[in-house]
């Protein structure tokens, strides 16, 4: 057996290896020898656990090890730290807690960490965690909006800022990125991910991991990322949160898992399992996926946490007869930490008595948690996370606000623009209509961490304060921001903070009057923040009724209308498309929302966001992806033919994946390949020219799609395989070269096996998935088997001007 000093302390995928390798203490090999373990377990010990962890494990009681596995809530999400009382301090002294979530604050968390380090038996530090998903205090646009930027560097920069702010506030660990692919916008949590595409999703996934961790977990300004919720959380039946996902093994591997794989490549230090099941197996108990695919096939060495109460909920799924069985299933699957259900804490000891083999799993789980704490530097400099001065300087500093503003500019998607509706530059009277224009809570979005609505620049304030000379703004809310009467649940409590209720008829009349007195209307409508996010499934993704009524009344005035759409999901808005001159999808855009909106509306910046998901014409079209497999009977406009379509609506989306307009115009050259054939190990360079033919500096997102026209299984109609957001001066041309590897056409065969087939590959360059400018094709001369999910492989892109 190797000595621990010479053992690789972490896999190549883990960050923090550097930090660890400098502190190799001789550790007892006894623990490894003493426990009867399978060779698998032994190699996990050697590969993934630090010497300090192994040494500590050899001294800890069963109860103390279980304590490390327990994550307790330090407060409710809206009432942080509220539970950190004397009783909790005693639990920490006794080693009963491994981590707290819903806590924050450099000063607030210092004492309890000091107690863990100095007064608990083994001096093991606590891990402090929070959902810092799109900003900590400087909230930036919701993740689906960030994906609409098609700008990986922006995503990384923003996550880096969130990591810095949260680490300055005593936090070590964020429950982000959320990388669940979602093709069904009825699902409220679509707001938290990157949309429908595994290639775009993989890029956004790795960008966030890199941003949060910055390649060095031990630095005091980085936080550990949690890639979540592994499994197929984004495809619950009917879009209803937590529901079963019954998708094929190929789709699991080709569509849902690639962003998780990409996160591992980027060094994600932890993962969270999903609440729901895939074909009957809840991920929290899915040994093949968690211990098999993630740990064994992908080589992930870090820590895995359950979702909130999910271990206990295994009894509700009907696969565990009681809590002890639930605990043993989760532990065996490889779930290290129990978020709040207290199953490990209270019931694992009995499970271990019944099945002593579980002790091996317990050692590994506790060891992985301790190892992560060490990678974060918490044993040696845990109290350095509690520097109040640093926190004060970091939080919401000007530079952070500037980044939030840039992000909000880059995420806006111009869906429609006719009659020169945008930008607005001439002196005139503008009526801003819609309560959402003032609703700062909604701009904070679904996970607002420590965001404060009083620090948000509302859309109305942004448009008013930045109005160019001669533009006058008036305002009327028209209707409530929230439709509060759910007829099926009249007693539902809603958390509307801006109470701007009054008699709706009067509100509407005032809005019409305000619109009529103006030259044009900027109509701010859409969904309130509480309609997106966890457990916020809708059966109808059209505009809420009150918003629709307001829109109809305003259209009737005959004034030119620019819609600013506020949303956390794809919506079906055919009426707006028909009647508005312009539609700017502005999502929920964070603390600088109003200023960024003004930058776009008044033409300081040309919009260049692109949709990361189809916007359907009707709810009934969802789930809906641009990259479906072709049918044997492709949709035909002639309803007399029996084809792959609905009879009551056009088959196409209202706005397709990749769609987004600009104030400028761009011309594309031909797409050319540097070769006509490559081997399965080879790559092709695909090049095109793009010219800004308009008269303002503007950005364009150049999109590369691929199709495998003939394979052993049907392949998607087209699939995204590369993109680049570029900025061009008027008249300027850029040459964009994508280097695509043959392996990026790999087809899932079986676990850990992907096949690159010989044959033709087609490539398309375009402005969106439905607006292709040019195409070319090459031949792959042989076949090979590999193990990398094709969509997770990044295409190299070079730009020359
Ligand atoms: C969510 C997770 C989140 C956790 C902790 C759960 O309800 O599903 O995404 O990280 O709560 O707040």
Examine the pLDDT at 762 and tell me if it is beyond 60: yes
Cα distance between residue 335 and residue 446, in whole Å: 26
Q: Measuring from atom 11 of ligand 1, which residue has the nearest CA?
A: 308
Question: What global pTM score does this model have?
Answer: 0.94
Q: Measuring from atom 2 of ligand 1, which residue has the nearest CA?
A: 307
Strands 561-566 and 582-585: parallel
Q: What is the pLDDT of residue 24?
A: 33
Examine the pLDDT at 720 and tell me if it is beyond 70: yes
Average pLDDT of the residues in 525-554: 94
307 annotated active-site:
yes
Q: Measuring from atom 10 of ligand 1, which residue has the nearest CA?
A: 175
Q: What is the pLDDT of residue 33?
A: 55
Condensed to tens digits (0 to 9), the pLDDT of residues 660-702 reads 999 999 999 999 999 999 999 999 999 999 999 999 999 999 9
Condensed to tens digits (0 to 9), the pLDDT of residues 436-478 reads 999 999 999 989 999 999 999 999 999 999 999 999 999 999 9
CB of 308 shorter than 6 A to ligand 1:
yes
pLDDT bucket at 484, cuts 50 / 70 / 90: low
Cα distance between residue 735 and residue 318, in whole Å: 57
- 140, 134 Cβ separation under 8 angstroms: yes
Condensed to tens digits (0 to 9), the pLDDT of residues 264-320 reads 999 999 999 999 999 999 999 999 999 999 999 999 999 999 999 999 999 999 999
Q: How far does the centroid of ligand 1 lie from the alpha carbon of residue 308, in Å? A: 6
Angle between helices 323-333 and 343-354 (to 10 degrees): 90
Condensed to tens digits (0 to 9), the pLDDT of residues 53-88 reads 999 999 999 999 999 999 999 997 678 999 999 999
Lowest mean pLDDT, pick from 7-21, 153-167, 188-202, 356-370: 7-21
Q: What is the pLDDT of residue 301?
A: 96
Q: What is the pLDDT of residue 15?
A: 29
With CA atoms as reference, report the closest residue to 761 among 749, 744, 748, 774: 744
Q: What is the mean pLDDT of the chain?
A: 92
Q: What is the pLDDT of residue 45?
A: 75
Exposure b/e, 80-89, CB count within 10 A at least 16 = b: bbebbeeebb
Q: What is the pLDDT of residue 481?
A: 81
Q: What is the pLDDT of residue 34?
A: 53
The beta strands (E) that lie in 405-560 are given as: 413-417, 428-433, 471-476, 520-526
Q: How far does the centroid of ligand 1 lie from the alpha carbon of residue 449, in Å? A: 12
- CA 97 from centre of chain: 29
Share of the chain above pLDDT 70, in %: 92
Condensed to tens digits (0 to 9), the pLDDT of residues 329-373 reads 999 999 999 999 999 999 999 999 999 999 999 999 999 999 999
CB of 131 shorter than 6 A to ligand 1:
yes
Average pLDDT of the residues in 753-776: 98
pLDDT bucket at 502, cuts 50 / 70 / 90: very low
- Which whole-number Å values give the CA distances from 763 to 185, 486, 673, 718, 778, in the listed order? 28, 48, 9, 9, 8
Condensed to tens digits (0 to 9), the pLDDT of residues 216-252 reads 999 999 999 999 999 999 999 999 999 999 999 999 9
CB of 228 shorter than 6 A to ligand 1:
yes
Examine the pLDDT at 482 and tell me if it is beyond 90: no
- DSSP-based three-state secondary structure for 605: coil
């Amino acid at each position: 057996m190797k000595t621990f000093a010479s053992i690789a302390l972490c896999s190549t995928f883990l960050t923090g290896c550097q930090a660890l390798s400098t502190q190799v203490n001789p550790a007892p090999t006894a623990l490894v020898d003493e426990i009867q373990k399978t060779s698998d377990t032994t190699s996990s010990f050697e590969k993934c656990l630090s010497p300090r962890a192994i040494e500590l494990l050899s001294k800890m009681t069963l109860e103390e090890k279980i304590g490390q596995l327990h994550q307790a809530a330090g407060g409710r999400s809206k009432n942080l730290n509220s539970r950190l009382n004397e009783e909790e301090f005693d639990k920490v002294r006794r080693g009963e807690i491994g981590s707290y979530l819903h806590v924050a604050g450099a000063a607030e968390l210092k004492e309890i960490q000091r107690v863990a380090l100095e007064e608990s038996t083994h001096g093991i530090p606590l891990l402090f965690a929070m959902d810092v998903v799109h900003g900590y205090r400087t909230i930036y646009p919701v993740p689906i909006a960030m994906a609409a930027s098609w700008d990986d560097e922006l995503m990384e920069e923003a996550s880096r800022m969130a990591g810095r702010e949260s680490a300055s506030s005593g936090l070590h660990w964020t429950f982000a990125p959320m990388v669940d692919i979602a093709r069904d916008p009825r699902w409220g949590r679509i707001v938290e991910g990157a949309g429908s595409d595994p290639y775009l999703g993989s890029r956004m996934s790795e960008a966030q991991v890199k941003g949060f961790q910055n390649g060095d977990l031990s630095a005091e300004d980085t936080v550990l990322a949690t890639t979540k919720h592994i499994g197929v959380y984004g495809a619950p039946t009917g879009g209803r949160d937590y529901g079963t996902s019954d998708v094929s093994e190929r789709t699991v591997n080709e569509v849902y898992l690639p962003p998780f794989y990409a996160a591992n490549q980027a060094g994600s230090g932890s993962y969270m399992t999903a609440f729901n099941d895939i074909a009957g197996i809840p991920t929290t108990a899915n040994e093949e996926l968690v211990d098999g695919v993630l740990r064994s096939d992908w080589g992930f060495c870090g820590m895995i946490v359950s979702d909130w109460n999910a271990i206990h909920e295994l009894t509700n799924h009907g696969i565990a007869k009681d809590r002890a069985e639930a605990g043993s299933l989760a532990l065996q699957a490889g779930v290290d930490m129990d978020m709040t259900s207290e199953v490990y804490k209270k019931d694992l000891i009995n499970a271990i008595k019944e099945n002593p083999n579980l002790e091996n799993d317990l050692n590994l789980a506790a060891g992985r948690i301790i190892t992560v704490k060490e990678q974060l530097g918490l044993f040696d400099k845990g109290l350095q996370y509690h520097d109040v001065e640093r926190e004060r300087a970091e939080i919401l500093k000007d530079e952070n606000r500037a980044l939030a503003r840039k992000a909000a500019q880059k995420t806006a998607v111009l869906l429609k623009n006719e009659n020169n509706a945008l930008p607005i530059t001439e002196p005139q009277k503008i009526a801003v209509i819609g309560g959402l224009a003032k609703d700062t809570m909604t701009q904070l979005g679904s996970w607002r961490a420590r965001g404060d609505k009083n620090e948000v620049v509302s859309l109305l304030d942004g448009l008013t304060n930045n109005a160019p000379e001669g533009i006058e703004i008036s305002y009327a809310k028209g209707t409530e921001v929230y439709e509060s009467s759910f007829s099926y649940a009249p007693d539902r409590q809603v958390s509307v903070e801006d109470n701007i209720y009054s008699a709706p008829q009067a509100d509407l009349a005032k809005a019409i009057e305000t619109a009529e007195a103006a030259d044009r209307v900027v109509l701010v409508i859409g969904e309130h923040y509480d309609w997106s996010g966890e457990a916020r499934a809708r059966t109808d993704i059209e505009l809420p009724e009150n918003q629709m009524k307001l829109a109809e009344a305003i259209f009737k005035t005959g004034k030119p209308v620019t819609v600013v759409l506020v949303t956390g999901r794809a919506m079906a808005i055919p009426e707006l498309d028909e009647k508005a001159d312009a539609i700017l999808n502005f999502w929920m855009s964070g603390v600088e929302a109003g200023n960024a909106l003004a930058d776009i509306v008044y033409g300081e910046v040309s919009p260049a966001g692109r949709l990361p998901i189809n916007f359907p014409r009707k709810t009934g079209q969802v789930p809906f992806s641009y990259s479906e497999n072709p049918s044997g009977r492709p949709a035909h406009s002639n309803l007399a033919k029996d084809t792959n379509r609905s009879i009551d609506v056009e088959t196409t989306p209202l706005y397709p994946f990749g769609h987004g307009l600009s104030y400028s115009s761009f011309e594309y050259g031909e797409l050319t390949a540097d070769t006509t054939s490559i081997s399965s190990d080879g790559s092709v360079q695909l090049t095109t020219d793009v010219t800004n033919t308009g008269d303002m500096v503007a950005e364009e997102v150049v999109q590369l799609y691929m199709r495998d026209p003939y394979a052993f299984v049907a392949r998607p109609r087209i699939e995204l395989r590369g993109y680049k957001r570029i900025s061009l001066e008027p008249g300027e041309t850029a040459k964009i070269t994508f280097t695509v590897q043959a392996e990026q056409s790999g087809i899932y065969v079986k676990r850990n096996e992907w096949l690159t087939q010989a044959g033709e590959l087609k490539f398309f360059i375009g402005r969106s998935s439905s607006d292709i400018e040019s195409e070319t094709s090459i031949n792959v001369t042989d076949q090979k088997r590999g193990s990398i999910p094709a969509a997770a492989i990044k295409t190299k892109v070079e730009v020359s001007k």
